[in-house]
Chain A
Amino acid sequence: MTDEKKKAPDSGHVTRRSALIGMAGAAGTVLARNSAGQEVQVSGTSRPHVPDDPTKVLGTWSSELGERSAFEKLKRVPSATRSSSETPLQDLHGTITPSDLHFERHHAGVPVIDPERHKLVVHGMVRRPLTFSVADLKRFPAVSRICFVECSGNLYHDAPEQTTAQLIAGMTSQSEWTGVMLSTLAREVGVNDDASWFLAEGADAAVMTRSIPRELWDEAMIVYAQNGEAVRPENGYPVRLLNPGCEGNSCVKWLRRIEFADRPFMTREETSKYTEPIRGGVARQFSLVMDARSIITYPSYPDAVERGWIEIQGIAWSGRGRISAVEVSTDDGRSWQRARLQEPVLPKAHVRFRHLWNWNGRETVIMSRAIDETGYVQPSREEWIAARGPGSGPYHRNPVTGWRVRGGGDVVYRVEEWA
């Protein structure tokens, strides 16, 4: 099993355009056949029965569980190995990712865990080793925080023109997370002053482990809720670690054990996997913070646009704090304009940007670059490779993404060669 970014999608992916085309086509067909009293199937999926005039037909009554309109076909795209799946960035409008569309990455599948039996053992360099049930954790003062979680291998490199934003960068998602601060539990167990790392261990079949350095402890949380309800199974039910702004793998899911120590544990993931060869014959380790990045999600492949006014939209984020600006270029990077940022602009969180563009109908490339509060500017592919080297591997790649808008209005991914 490899943890690098997927190669090519192994299944058809629903796109905004195909969804719209499907909806329009199906709606027309359904209406025509409804008058003849026939059921219609499209792509194996039942289409809703659409009355000629919804004001003349009694609607359905209330239900125990809501669901999306049958016309909406949002889907993650699982990788060939089914060890990951990606958020449909191009189909979303805000900054919160619906929980069932949060990206997945797991190394031995999603475990089934009974919350009544789950335990979190906290031990090591502490005065009072303690065991907490999920109910115990919920008794502590709670904190909610909106932030992104991103896989550090979040770039589909060498992608063809026919690639969606979902496949390019869909391994970032955002939720409102709720749980207890690590610092609260640290007080409870009495962490030794000499402790400088802790091991986080999951209860999945990978028994995932990562060492977390002290500088991340102030913001770290043990969370049990995602967007107001229990964390989803694939996101760590019943509890996971959350290190805001840091690579997803460090936010160990299905958390069962925390062990404080005075050095890192040198687990497989933090030595042989989530590390990057850099210039000088060495590899960088514990590179946990995600650098600033942005991507235009509209228009993007497979959208088709018309000349005239277009509101370019996308998301930007940084693991180092707030996004201070997003710049958009509509002339293949020759000039840049400042985009509008949708409030609230939260630290270590997706922010939505918008930029009005009056397209003259001529072929061009549009792109965005994020600037965060440290002054860091999201690099181009060329700048990234010049800084790190072409053999630096697939982790922490955050290049500017371009979309080519063809003369006829078709939008495709601006292909880049990563080798």
Chain B
Amino acid sequence: MNDKPRSATRVSILSILLCVGWCNGVSAQDEAPMPVRFGFGHAATAEEIAAWDIDVMPDGTGLPPGSGSVAEGEALYVAQCAVCHGRTGVEGPNDRLVVHAPDEAFPDAADAATWRQRTIGNYWPYATTLFDYIRRSMPQNLPGSLDDDEVYALTAYLLHLNHLLPAEARLDAESLPRVEMPARDRFVPDDRLGHREVHR
């Protein structure tokens, strides 16, 4: 190659010209259009969906049969929850679950001290979320070990500790969504401006 630099160059230029001409005349075929369906995967069976579809919505959609009382919940709480959340739900070491006073307010953005007060009785907007969360991931050392009656009972007890249910109450799929949470109307969807101004 080194002894014929000029002809090598000529060949290269010729190749490029040929290639340009060729490409102009016959373009590569376009990729096939994406099919409406690829047909991968299999139809989800009713069993597959039922085994995992455990979410509960604010209107109660997804709540299972069963029920539990405040009293039943207290026994479960003492045995399984107090070690992380404290005997009365405020001692920790993990998240505080109970307001300090019945009228403890929603956190105030203007007051740095109030952020740490947010808990079930003043910050959780929906009682159904409590059921959903306990059932899916509590207690931390044995997640998913509580049956539905036990989850109703614990939910009832925690709402009672937060002054939102009387001591004799019992919860089920009908009554749980009707529990009115103090923070129910305190949440707004993302209202940041998405432009130059520093977002509120």
B190 contacts A by Cβ under 8 Å: yes
Q: Are B129 and A268 in contact (CB under 8 A)?
A: yes
In this complex, what residue of A is CB-closest to B54?
A207
A198-235 vs B: 1/0 string, CB under 8 Å? 01010001110100000000000000000000000000
Q: Are A289 and B190 in contact (CB under 8 A)?
A: yes
Q: Are B126 and A271 in contact (CB under 8 A)?
A: yes
A253-277 vs B: 1/0 string, CB under 8 Å? 0001101010101111001100111
Q: Pick from B186, B190, B200: contact of A388, CB below 8 A.
A: B200
A2 contacts B by Cβ under 8 Å: yes
CB distance from A119 to the nearest CB of B (A): 7
B22 contacts A by Cβ under 8 Å: no
CB distance from A349 to the nearest CB of B (A): 18
Q: Are A391 and B114 in contact (CB under 8 A)?
A: yes
Q: Pick from A130, A209, A263, A387: contact of B41, CB below 8 A.
A: A130
When A121-B49, A188-B38, A266-B128 are in contact, do A131 and B195 touch as well, CB less than 8 Å?
A: no
Interface of B is mostly: loop
A277-290 vs B: 1/0 string, CB under 8 Å? 11111111111110
A419 contacts B by Cβ under 8 Å: yes
B10 contacts A by Cβ under 8 Å: no
CB distance from B187 to the nearest CB of A (A): 4
B168 contacts A by Cβ under 8 Å: no
Report the Cα distance A188→B190, complex, angstroms.
Answer: 30
Tell me which residues from 376 to 413 in chain A have a Cβ below 8 Å from any Cβ of chain B.
Answer: 376-377, 379, 383-384, 387-393
B191 contacts A by Cβ under 8 Å: yes
CB distance from A128 to the nearest CB of B (A): 7
Instruction: Give the residues in chain B near A312, CB-CB below 8 Å.
Output: none
B3 contacts A by Cβ under 8 Å: no
CB distance from B26 to the nearest CB of A (A): 26
CB distance from B131 to the nearest CB of A (A): 10
Report the Cα distance A383→B49, complex, angstroms.
Answer: 48
Tell me which residues from 101 to 131 in chain B have a Cβ below 8 Å from any Cβ of chain A.
Answer: 106-115, 118-120, 123-126, 128-129
Stretch at the interface among A38-46, A135-143, A169-177: A135-143
Report the Cα distance A128→B124, complex, angstroms.
Answer: 35
When A282-B187, A291-B199 are in contact, do A277 and B52 touch as well, CB less than 8 Å?
A: no
Q: Are A271 and B52 in contact (CB under 8 A)?
A: no
Report the Cα distance A275→B112, complex, angstroms.
Answer: 15
Instruction: Give the residues in chain A near B188, CB-CB below 8 Å.
Output: 278, 282-285
In this complex, what residue of A is CB-closest to B183?
A283
A132 contacts B by Cβ under 8 Å: yes
Q: Are B143 and A108 in contact (CB under 8 A)?
A: yes
B121-158 vs A: 1/0 string, CB under 8 Å? 00111101100110011001001100000000000000
A187 contacts B by Cβ under 8 Å: yes
Q: Are A128 and B43 in contact (CB under 8 A)?
A: yes
Which of B's residues lie within 8 Å of A, judged by CB?
Answer: 34, 36-38, 40-45, 48-49, 52-55, 57-58, 94-95, 106-115, 118-120, 123-126, 128-129, 132-133, 136-137, 140, 143-144, 183, 186-192, 194-200
Which of A's residues lie within 8 Å of B, judged by CB?
Answer: 1-2, 107-108, 119, 121-123, 128-133, 136-137, 139-141, 184, 187-188, 199, 201, 205-207, 209, 256-257, 259, 261, 263, 265-268, 271-272, 275-289, 291, 320, 374-377, 379, 383-384, 387-393, 418-419
